[in-house]
Amino acid sequence: MSNIVAKESHFLTTLPGDDLRARLEAFVEDKDAFSPNTWRQLMSVMRISLRWAEQNGRQFFPMSSTDLRDYLNWLQAGGRASSTVATHAALLATLHRNAGLVPPTTSPLVFRTIKKINRSAVVSGERTGQAVPFKMTDLHIIDRCWAGSTQLQQVRNLAFLHLAYNTLLRVSELARLRVRDISRTADGRIILDVAWTKTIVQTGGLIKALSSASSRRLSEWLTRSGLAGEPDAFIFCPVHRSNKVTIATERPLSLPALEAIFSQAWREAGPATPAPANKGRYQGWSGHSARVGAAQDLAGKGYSVAQIMQEGTWKKPETLMRYIRNVDAHKGAMVDFMEMQ
């Protein structure tokens, strides 16, 4: 199975049995049922686990519960976070299920292994990493820095940061927005018709309303860039160093380019000293910072978990709670009770 590389077809040619190969070919044909990020993760996990299997004389696929146990332990020993180990197990289980096989994760042996890895991680002090929050106060600072700029890139970047904070959309979701997705209320504020998100994939889509300030910054970008008259163009297009916009209709601005906006904002308006090291990264604003900061701001103002989940399209409360755990630390029933005594 040494032919497993980035292309799925190479993997399929290595599989024993026509029936198994046919089931996985159907799986690959239907890969659009998954988000592009999930599919990329699956391909990455397949490459890593195949390399491990080849180097250790194990069978990559179908994978036995014993081999999966040893593979997961190898990941942990190599310094992978417990969440990463769990992701590898889940994606390998997905691969087996879609081949019509019983996933090795159903084995009590693997269950105990994952539980042991999680317990070991917690006892050793591992904590889930979190992006440095980009909050309303930060948005105000960068707004003062970039408002009225003659550089179209800064005009675009300011509009992007406003949308990222105002909508709590993920960077990939912001990248897909097109000019035709914009409508306006009677007072001129902007409404965004978001076709789909990571957690909401339905024909009704999602509607996001912008504040007056965010509507103004986005309108400035659309007008000065000339994109207002290009309904098929992506809202956030490349800006050439000549200070001219390249109208893009086929492919959105790359995620690294959009995430770099947060880095540029950090250099312009971030704290003088880097944030404390957090799992070897997160020492400045990154692609997830606006979601984290907006969620924390909402929690700090007393909005309910249900309301914040709706704004950020979170499906699981525990995901949100990781972002706002410090904000809500002093809002517990016991603290409130003791302060009243």
Q: Which of the residues are catalytic?
A: 170, 288, 291, 314, 323
d(CA 116, CA 122): 10
DSSP tag of 279: T
Collapsed DSSP state (helix, strand, coil) of residue 278: strand
d(CA 249, CA 233): 5
DSSP 46-67: HHHHHHHHHHTT---SSPPHHH
d(CA 308, CA 295): 6
d(CA 11, CA 24): 10
The CB density around residue 211, as the number of other CB atoms within 10 Å, is 13
Tokens standing for 315? 């499906």
d(CA 314, CA 312): 5
Are 25 and 8 in contact, with CB atoms under 8 Å apart?
A: no
d(CA 217, CA 161): 10
Beta bridge partners of 234: 178
